Amino acid sequence: MKKIVMMRSTKSYLPQIDASINYFNSKDLNYKLYDSSAIDGFTLRDFDAVWTFPGIDIHGTKEVPIIQEYVSLSTGIFPKLKNKIKRRINTVPALRIFLNQLVESEMNFTDGVESLQRDMGVDDLFFRFREQVKLYDCVYIGSMAKERKTEKLLRHFKEQKEKRTILMIGTVPDHIHKEFGKVENIIFTGDVPYQDVPKYASQAVYGINYMPDTYPFNLQTSTKLLEYLAMDLKIITTDYQWVNQFMEQQNMNFITINESLENLDTQLDQSKPQGICEEAVRAFSWSNIIKNAGIEEKLNQLL
């Protein structure tokens, strides 16, 4: 039995690892996947392949093939320069996996290494919460870091005359807690176990995908939007490149707002059911995403 180790960084949220391990290890294959965070004292040579999620990736060994999965582009200061550095100095792998076509084009590797795309998926547990009693008007799942500009969204709710409620699920930075922690119609859950996220989020009518139209966020798949779809929430989203491409490709139409939020209340008052069937959304479950990405065939060839 061949062994593949998936390298989990303590700094990154990587549902791809759990999804891949669950998918491949449930099949009758000649290899098995392992989570590096669950193994003590190993070297790369203990495995037949190493699956990394760079970052800067200058490690590796010629004896063991490397799989690199680029699940996002660089963020922070000089993100395009960081991508260029990765392109120049990262270890040349046996296979590259990219989040989507936009990310693959932006990384722009030209060394001829075989590649494929594996997009974000949704855990099956989100589909189990499609008909919940509604306690909140809106929900926002995920990062509230400064670069996401969520304070602009929260100020809108704070100043609303209608005082619609918004449930915020995720880590609450100090600057957000200080300004909005006591606002009555803004409810923070703080960190909750991943398996409990849909239990809370599904109690809202609208899922808000508030994403600034800035690089690289405007090129990357919105996990929260896929999760909202799985829970059958009405989706409110800002207008940017990835979401427009997604709507066109999937023939879906969401409630679109501008980044200034000046049309949010009007859209909420006039919105109609989106009518997106569960069968169409099931395409984004992790099992379907992994199955259709062609990874199994590539791993069979590699090993």
Percentage, residues of the chain above pLDDT 90 = 77
Query: pLDDT tens, 233-264?
Result: 999 999 999 999 999 999 999 999 988 898 88
How many whole angstroms separate alpha carbon 284 and alpha carbon 275?
A: 17
Q: What is the pLDDT of residue 63?
A: 81
What would the two tokens of residue 295 be?
A: 């990874």
Query: pLDDT tens, 180-209?
Result: 999 999 999 999 999 999 999 999 999 999
Residues in the chain, overall count = 303
DSSP code string of 72-103: S---SSSHHHHHHHHHHHSPP-SEEEESSHHH
Q: What is the pLDDT of residue 273?
A: 66
How many whole angstroms separate alpha carbon 286 and alpha carbon 204?
A: 23
Structural domains of the chain ordered from first start: 2-121+285-302 (3.40.50), 124-282 (3.40.50.2000)
CA atoms within 13 A on the CB side of 189: 22
How many whole angstroms separate alpha carbon 115 and alpha carbon 113?
A: 6
Which pTM value belongs to this model? Answer: 0.92
